[in-house]
């Protein structure tokens, strides 16, 4: 039996609820009970013998799991949807007993790399803007990109919410300048689509091929696999 003592925020994070930082907010707002009593004090320690509750349900420490999904078009990135639309959770639900949640978001019509875990701390690390996690996208446009637009994106320009700097942009071979590979660190909402829409292009297809160094290579669309120990270690070192 596990008799180790855990700080309450650590226990909540290990139960796959959220990161330790956000767990502190849950504690301070009185949303956590220990053995039936609401606890607001940070730093309290618990063991697996204690009954810890969140939202009226007992939570327990889970083994961390990490997987990658090659997201297909038509699925929304959320754990549940009130409108009963297809969610990415539907695709990974049977992967393990632990409750997984997506790391960051891809919009409904964007495909490609989407990570899942119950490790709240790692998830926050990979999505926090200050950590500048690299993403690589394959973009298919409705028409050829003009040389001037290409060079402007390459050099950097301004959108209504600030400066846009991409790490790299290049035209995919033999695509008549309609297919682009773009690498950037920005986590702004719909940023890749907004970049090309600003210059008058319609994004016909958008596929994230790499996220935080993890590639969807050899994973069929709509399929998933667990990350290797090497990949997990790579993510934790970022």
Q: For 39-89, what is each residue's pLDDT tens digit?
A: 999 999 999 889 999 999 999 888 899 999 999 999 999 988 888 899 999
Catalytically annotated residues: 107
Assess whether pLDDT exceeds 60 at residue 126.
yes
User: What structural domains and CATH numbers belong to the chain?
Assistant: 6-59 (3.10.290.10), 66-129+214-237 (3.30.70.580), 134-211 (3.30.2350.10)
Residue 167: its pLDDT value, please?
96
- Alpha-carbon span 165 to 169, nearest angstrom: 10
Confidence grade of residue 133 (pLDDT, cut at 50, 70, 90): very high
Residue 3: its pLDDT value, please?
65
């Amino acid at each position: 039996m596990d008799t180790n003592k855990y700080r309450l925020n650590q226990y909540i994070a290990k139960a796959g609820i959220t990161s330790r930082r956000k767990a502190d907010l849950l504690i301070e707002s009185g949303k956590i009970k220990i053995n039936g009593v609401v606890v607001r004090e940070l730093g309290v320690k618990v063991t697996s013998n204690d009954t810890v509750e969140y939202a009226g349900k007992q939570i327990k420490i889970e083994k961390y799991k990490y997987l990658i999904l090659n997201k297909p078009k038509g699925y929304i990135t959320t754990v549940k949807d009130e409108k009963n639309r297809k969610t990415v959770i539907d695709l990974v639900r049977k992967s393990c007993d632990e409750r997984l949640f997506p790391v960051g978001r891809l919009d409904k019509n964007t495909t490609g790399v989407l990570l899942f875990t119950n490790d709240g701390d790692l998830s926050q690390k990979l999505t926090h803007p200050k950590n500048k996690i690299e993403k690589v996208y394959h973009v298919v446009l409705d028409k050829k990109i003009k040389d001037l637009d290409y060079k402007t994106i390459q050099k950097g320009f301004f959108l209504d919410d600030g400066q846009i700097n991409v790490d790299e942009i290049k035209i995919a071979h033999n695509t008549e300048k309609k297919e682009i590979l773009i690498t950037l660190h920005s986590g702004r909402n719909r940023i890749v689509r907004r970049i090309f829409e600003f210059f008058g292009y319609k994004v016909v297809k958008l596929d994230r091929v790499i996220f935080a160094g993890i590639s969807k290579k050899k994973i069929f669309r709509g399929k998933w696999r667990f990350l290797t120990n090497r990949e997990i270690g790579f993510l934790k070192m970022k």
